[in-house]
Amino acid sequence: MVLWTPAWPRLLGKAPRAPPSPSSTLPPGSYVGCFQDSGPARTLKGVVFYDLRKMTVAGCQEACAEWSYVFAGLQDGTECYCGNRLPKRSSGAQECNRECRGEKGSVCGAPGRLSVYHVGGLLLGSSRRRTSTYRGCFPVPSNLTATLATPLSRPNLTVDSCCQLCSSQEFPLAVVRGPECFCGFPTPSFSLQDAVDAALCAGSPEAAANYCAVYQTPVQDTRCTDRSFLPAKAQVFVALSSFPGAGNTWARHLIELATGFYTGSYYFDGTLYNKGFKGEKDHWRSRRTICVKTHESGRREIEMFDAAILLIRNPYRSLVAEFNRKCAGHLGYATDKNWKSREWPDFVTSYASWWSSHVLDWLKYGKRLLVVHYEDLRRSLLPKLREMVAFLNVSVTEERLLCVESNQEGSFRRLGGRAREPEQAFTAEMRELIDGYIRTVDRALRDRNWNGLPTEYVPR
């Protein structure tokens, strides 16, 4: 674990606070100034999002406040960045001359320039504001013990004060051991894979000395958030192929964080661009992205690619997810009226066969494949992600993969409402149809020396 310790003797005796800045006395929402801030060394690099049509100062400030950041920076009229420290290089006010796309008369930076606003206590009482979450009780690693040879302690230390301090310094982890508090990141030697009974962290002083309670602060782990287009055109044209509703967007999010390169798409989806997928605007055949999303099947469409990651998900789950998307967008849910209409059974009849033919076509015509099951990716994120990154011929550090694990959900979970479970959605007739397709795909995978479908949804 990378620990931040030099300033602790000074800070532990005081109430946690954000780093001092010229704007620390400004009221929430105040404009700070125009700054230069871009590239991998960007100072404001948390909670990045874009909005081609509706970016506003308030929208960016609220997004940053939700994650407990102090500053919100807007760039080029459409981009929002967050952080707790001001960029080092200021610019003349006239250099931030782009109007926000969704707010006439307001300033939203320029290419390579950020209009920075002080967020402060905005949304402090909002239910949207994120809080620190408990990750678990873990054995103290040997290197942490060595670091604590001269303990830095505080008699009245609380979990809240430790989390607030670590958050203000933009560390994603707050680690509490008795009266001691440390900030850091997950690392290979402190990967948070070996949690123990929480009672051990609250036991006798002798026992508690060997265990530490770990909390996830509201701020992002930004070690893996820098992304760019490929420096040269890809020699191997790789597809990320799946049936709709199989988790392609989530897989793209993981691949971008792990490799540091944008993914492309056979389609253009403005909603996904606004979520940070800059490759959405790039032509899908540009070869400037690490792989290209596609739901296409058929020999001609498949043979355009040199290789493909074929992502397969339980068809029951995929059909429900895709029906939700068609009815209510990426993050919404179909209504009871949608489910009870004739649209749902017609959808199942049409799309269930497509789920099968999509996999069968890629197995038949794909030149070089890596088959990934969505369920396996969920269960064993890092091992499966290592396979995917190796297939893409990209070398990544273990620290970056652990950062991906911390940021694995992204902004793609449906919020509000309630997912309809397969038991509720599918009739016996529908199940008989879908189960037949599952058996066909399972057999086809095994015939080509791949593992069959996950046993949890293969009919017995």
| Residue 313 forms part of a structural domain | yes
pLDDT at res. 270: 84
| Number of domain units in the chain | 3
Same domain, 233 and 327: yes
Same domain, 172 and 210: yes
pLDDT at res. 170: 86
| Residue 244 forms part of a structural domain | yes
| Residue 34 forms part of a structural domain | yes
| Residue 128 forms part of a structural domain | no
pLDDT at res. 418: 58
| Residue 341 forms part of a structural domain | yes
Same domain, 232 and 192: no
pLDDT at res. 188: 87
The domain containing residue 113 runs over which residues? 30-118
Same domain, 339 and 232: yes
Closest CA to 340 of 407, 420, 286: 420
Same domain, 435 and 337: yes
pLDDT at res. 390: 97
pLDDT at res. 422: 61
pLDDT at res. 91: 92
pLDDT at res. 342: 92
Same domain, 306 and 377: yes
Q: The pTM is what?
A: 0.83
297-303, long-range: CB < 8 A, 24+ apart: 297/354, 297/357, 297/358, 297/361, 297/362, 298/361, 299/361, 299/364, 299/365, 302/239, 302/241, 302/361, 302/362, 302/365, 302/366, 303/365, 303/367
pLDDT at res. 19: 35
Same domain, 38 and 156: no
**Residue 286 class from Cβ within 10 Å (0-12 exposed, 13-18 middle, 19+ buried)?**
middle
pLDDT at res. 14: 30
pLDDT at res. 236: 97
Domain boundary among 118, 151, 171: 118
pLDDT at res. 23: 44
pLDDT at res. 150: 38
Residue segments in the chain with a per-residue pLDDT below the cut of 50? 1-23, 124, 126, 145-151, 414-416
